[in-house]
Every structure is written in structure tokens, then in C-alpha cells.
Structure 1
Amino acid sequence: MREERLHVMFGMWDLADPYNQHIGVTITSLVMNCSLPVTVHLLYDENLHKDSPGYRDNQEKYRQLEEQFGVKIFYHHIVLPNYVLHTRGGLGYFSPGWPPSAFFRIFSPDLLVDLDWIIYLDGDIVVNTDLAEIWKRRLVGEEFAVACCRDHGPEYWKNSRLRYCKKVGIPTEGYFNSGVLLMNLRKIRDDYTIVESTKEILMNHPDLPLPDQDILNIIFANDILFLPEKYNLPAGLDQGDCYKSSCVHYIFCEKPWRDIDYPAAKEYWKYLSLSPWGDTFEKIYSTIQLMTYRAPLDKRVLTGSILNLRTFLSNLLRRGWNDVRGVKKLRW
């Protein structure tokens, strides 16, 4: 009998990019909490920095993930059309333009032709629950294009954003976050022309604030199954201990690898220390150093991280390496 495996997809624009570390953390957390064996599909542009040390180093770490956790990783080369590459969306606090990898999920039905279903995850997520539970939703006979969680954004949108949504046809009722998606690839291939629809939307509305997410909401507005909030729980909102049994999504600008006291940061650091990107002190040191350099001045002073990095690291070691590896809670 063919082994049942959970298939999950990530969009990684460049295998040389340091962001691969965060995807590695997401994969580590996923496989450590999943009751099914996992197959990972990495969508990327293989032409970028292919001969660089970072490219080869990340590939080696993904190989170590396979060996350590029994996960299977497949690489899928993708080239995006120019109308996507030239898209310039943007909320004020994002850099101009949009990460091209954000659009990979839109092109996945035609790229992953051997798969009928897949789970898509953003790379700024820690999975503290068993995703096999939502993977089984594909067996219940319900017809839906995507299963997803409601987005908290509409609760906080300004009137200008709401007026814009009405103007271009972005639904505000039932608006979903696209960071965690169970995608019915077969239905999408059969019932939608998602690539053509994306091109038309971008041509008519090149200034979409959240282009990839807005597009998916426009296309699938009436073909959604909503999942419990725990499968896409925003960090940064006061969620108490719910982080321990959910998919923690670091949706805001600050991230746990940038902000010393970011909500649920310990969840990220725990799985980083268990992944090939942080399983030795030498590896995790560079992330700690980068984080302290990025910290706001008041936090640098409070932690002594920049003014006295040696003291900061000594204190970290004094707490014990087991704290960082998740035996105890990590406290900054």
C-alpha cells in the first residue's frame, strides 16, 4: 500500500538567501509535531546565486533535515512572468515592491501537476500542532478550493483601505490570511484559470496593498472552508498560552529573529536550536548577533546586547544551553 504523506509547499525566491533559515525552522517545527511523514516542496528560482557558498550551505542543511527527521524535500524551479516581477504593491512599512516568492502559491497548481492537494505555509510560522488534522479535511468530501483562517486585518483597516477593497472587488467579509492554506490543486486546475486571473487583476490594479493575498481573496471568495483560528494564530496579539498548540504566525513587521522580546519568540528559538541552522552554539551565535544589532536602542541598552555583547552572551550561557533548546522557557 502506498504510504500516506503530508505534502507541504514553501516559496523561497533564492536558496542563497538567509531567509532559508526561517523556512528551515518552520519545517523542523512541522515535522516534530506531525503524525504523518512529510514531503516538502520548495519552489525557487535556481538561477539565482547558484554558485554561491550560501546556496550550497542551505542545500546541505536541507539535506540534513531529510536525514534527521525523515522528511523528503523536492526542489521545483519556477520562473515568474514579468508582470509579476514588476508588481509594486506595498503598505507603508514594507519596502517598495513585493517578494516575488509570495506569488509562487498562485502558480503551484500548474507546476505541481502530480499533486491533487497541498498545504502552503509562509516562512514566518512555527507549527506547534499536528497539521495532519487539517490534511484529513481533503477526505471529508467537501468541495472547496482552499481551506484557510480568517484574517484579523479588516478589524483594523482604515476607511481608505475599506473603500479601496470595495472599488477593486476585494471582499472584506470572510477575508482570509493566505499564510496557511490547504489547497485543492485539482479543483483549482479544473475550475479556475488562476494564472490568467492573476494577470488580469495585476494589470488592472498594480497597486494592491497585499497583492498575493488580495488576489487569492478575490479569486476564491466563494470557494472557502474556514479552519479554526489555531491553525493561523497571529503573534503580536495577546493570545496567552494558545501558542503552545497552534500555528504561530509572525505576521507583523518585527520578527522573533529581529526583536528580543517579540511575542512567542521562544517558540522560534526553540525550533531554531533543533534545526540544522542552529543546532550548535556557533550557528546560533550569528543569529543572536544579528538580532541584537537590529534591536531598537532602548532594548540594546536594557539587555546590554550591543553595549556589551560579551556580557549578554555570558548571561545566555549561564542560563544553560538547555534553555535555548527548549527544556526550559527561554527568557530574555
Structure 2
Amino acid sequence: MTIPVFYSISDDFTKYAAVSLNSLVKNASPQNDYTVTFLNQDLSEKHQKQLAAFANDYVHVKFFHIDEKLVKPIQNRKENYLRADFFTMSIFYRLFIPDLFPQYDKAIYIDSDTVVVDDIAKLYNNDLDNKLFAACTDSSIQYVDKMVKYIKEVLALDPKKYINSGMLVLNSKAFRDEHFIDHFMHLLEQYHFDCIAPDQDYLNEIGDGRILHLDPRWDAMPNENTEPISKPGLIHYNLFFKPWHFKDVQYDAYFWKYASSTPFYEELKGELDNYTDQERAEDRAKLDHMLEKEASTALDPNNWAQVKRKGERVKL
């Protein structure tokens, strides 16, 4: 039996994904078997070869091209912008994993802006029972008042249970048996919900009440309001504060440890050195821009809270 791990990747994110993959391989156990698959639409042959080079006897690296027809209903609309900033189809790929890979009844998904500090098999071994998926509460938003208000009033969910979708253990069999994708597509096409975090909001809404909340060490995120977790299992450089753009980011030593043994190390160091204070200020300002959506979505007669009040079945 293999442990299936999936990434969603665009070509320009290869160098960061390489660091994550390197960390996963370095902490994988030879007693297990792992298959890592990169879901993509535009990954160059050169980058595929560079990522495939991290494979060994027990960690296999594969690539899967996402057909445009599959994701065509997910349009480049402002409602689907990541962080209210730009459109990227790759954030939605994770939702299709159970249907695209029916040979797996359970699978792990992780974002590319991560490092894996422990054996990812430990994450896979969580018993999902009848839960749709396992994830960690989104610690990055707990001190952001507008985001907490958005979750309470627009999503009508508990912020303490609102998960981050950058790390998921998917109950793939339940996704298929309960037609998750059909339900997702129905909600998407019927309501075009205006979301701050599109794929993440849909997962929280559809999975409400059926999410296994994991130890936060499995999605440790840099946070200026909290102390770092002492023994993280997986670190997720969420939102805008990336160690290749900001110096002294929480957990940055882990990133550079694994980056140093990739072919992208010098390029990544150069990116950090050349990133300007103005660009960093603009990144911080993007958080405010993202949160501007809270006010407009609260007034939307077809927001999540209003649709649920009208009796629409949202959660599975």
C-alpha cells in the first residue's frame, strides 16, 4: 500500500514546491511507500525533471495534467480570486483528487508553500471514520477581526472550527460516495458565492460538522501574534509572509534548511535579497485589500449565511 500525497502546482511555483518535496522525502520512512503527484496544467518538462529527481526507492514522484474541460465551470470571476487579489485555477484542483484517483480511499493534499518536518505517514494514519476530511483550524486568521467577523456573519460558521485548506487528509471514498464534486459544482454554478478564500470557504461549508480537527502542529503557520509551535510536523507559509520575501519570518530556518539542498537555493536567496521594502509593504497592504471583501459580502443577499437561512442544503 502506498501513501498518496498530492500538490497543486503552477509552473512559476516549482522552486518552492521543490523545497517542500525535498523536506517530505528527507523525513519519509524507508519502511513505508509514498507516491507524490503534482497536479498541474502548465508544468514544463524541465521542471518536471527537476522535481522527479527527488524521488528514491520508496518515494515516487508523478505528474498529472488537469484537463481544461474538468475545471471549465470554475471561471475567472472576482468571486473566485485567491485572497481577493488574483485568479489561479490550481487552488481548486484539490477538490477533484478523490474522483480523479479512484484507486485511493484516502489521500493527503498539501500546498506547495510548505515544509514537512515529520514523517507524513503519521498524518495519513489518522482515522477519518465518517468525516469528510481532516485539517487544522486556521490559526492565521484568529487575530484578524474582519476575518473572524466574515466567518461568523457571512459564512455563518464558528471561527474556531474554520480550517485552513493548505493541508488536508481526504476521505476520498466518502467524497465519491456522497458526490462531493456534484454538490460543489451545484453550489458554485447556482450561487457564485463571493469568497475571501474560495476553495477553503467551500470546504468549510460543505464539510461543516464532518471535519476532523487535527493537532495544530500539522499546519503550523507564521503568526506575529503567537509563539511558534515547538515541534511542528508541517509548516505552512500561508498568506503573504513567505521566507523568500521576508526575513525573520517564523519557522524560516526550516525552509532554508531544506532549500539549501535543492537546485533552487541560490535563486531563492537571490529572490529574498532582491525583494524590496516597498514590495514587502505592498504585500502587507494586500491583507487589508483582502479584508475589504468582508463588508461587501456581508451585504450580498446570496452570501452563504443568507442561502442557508433560505433552506438550501450546503453541507453534506
Give the TM-score band, short-chain normalised. 0.7 to 0.9
Query: Could you tell me the TM-score, scaled by structure 2's length?
Result: 0.77
Q: Which residue of 2 aligns with 1:262?
A: 249
Q: Which residue of 2 aligns with 1:84?
A: 74
Post-superposition Cα deviations, 1:190-217, rounded to whole Å, max 9, x if no partner, equal 0233343244246414421100100000
Query: Could you tell me the TM-score, scaled by structure 1's length?
Result: 0.74
Given candidates 57, 61, 77, the residue that maps to 2:50 is 61
1:71 counterpart = 2:52: no
Distance 2:279 2:185 in 1: 44
Mark the CA change 1:205 to 1:40 in structure 2 (over 3 Å): closer, same or farther.
same
Q: Which residue of 1 aligns with 2:4?
A: 7
Alpha-carbon contact 2:91-2:199 (below 8 Å) kept? yes
Q: Which residue of 2 aligns with 1:215?
A: 202
Distance 2:15 2:21 in 1: 10
Mark the CA change 1:83 to 1:24 in structure 2 (over 3 Å): closer, same or farther.
same
Q: How far is 1:266 from its partner?
A: 1.7
2:61 maps to amino acid:
I
Q: How far is 1:89 from its partner?
A: 3.9
Q: Residues 91-130 of structure 1 correspond to what in structure 2 (within 5 A)?
A: 94=83, 96-130=85-119
Q: How far is 1:262 from its partner?
A: 1.9
3-state DSSP class of the match of 2:35?
strand
2:126 maps to amino acid:
R
Alpha-carbon contact 1:171-1:218 (below 8 Å) kept? no
Structure 1's unaligned 5+ residue stretches are 279-283, 300-332
Q: Which residue of 1 aligns with 2:38?
A: 42
2:104 maps to amino acid:
L
Given candidates 21, 27, 31, the residue that maps to 2:25 is 31
Q: Residues 87-236 of structure 1 correspond to what in structure 2 (within 5 A)?
A: 87-89=77-79, 94=83, 96-138=85-127, 142-153=129-140, 155-158=142-145, 162=149, 165-201=152-188, 203-236=190-223
Q: Which residue of 1 aligns with 2:287?
A: none
1:9 maps to amino acid:
F
3-state DSSP class of the match of 1:149?
strand
Q: How far is 1:233 from its partner?
A: 0.8
Q: How far is 1:142 from its partner?
A: 2.2
Q: Which is bigger in relative contact order (C-alpha 8 A, separation at least 6)?
A: 2
How many pairs are equivalent? 275
Distance 1:102 1:44 in 2: 11
Q: Which residue of 1 aligns with 2:289?
A: none
Alpha-carbon contact 1:31-1:37 (below 8 Å) kept? no
3-state DSSP class of the match of 2:63?
strand
Alpha-carbon contact 1:145-1:224 (below 8 Å) kept? yes
Q: How far is 1:248 from its partner?
A: 1.1
1:291 counterpart = 2:247: no
1:32 maps to amino acid:
K
The Cα RMSD (Å) is 2.7
Q: How far is 1:169 from its partner?
A: 4.5
Mark the CA change 1:132 to 1:241 in structure 2 (over 3 Å): closer, same or farther.
same
3-state DSSP class of the match of 2:166?
strand
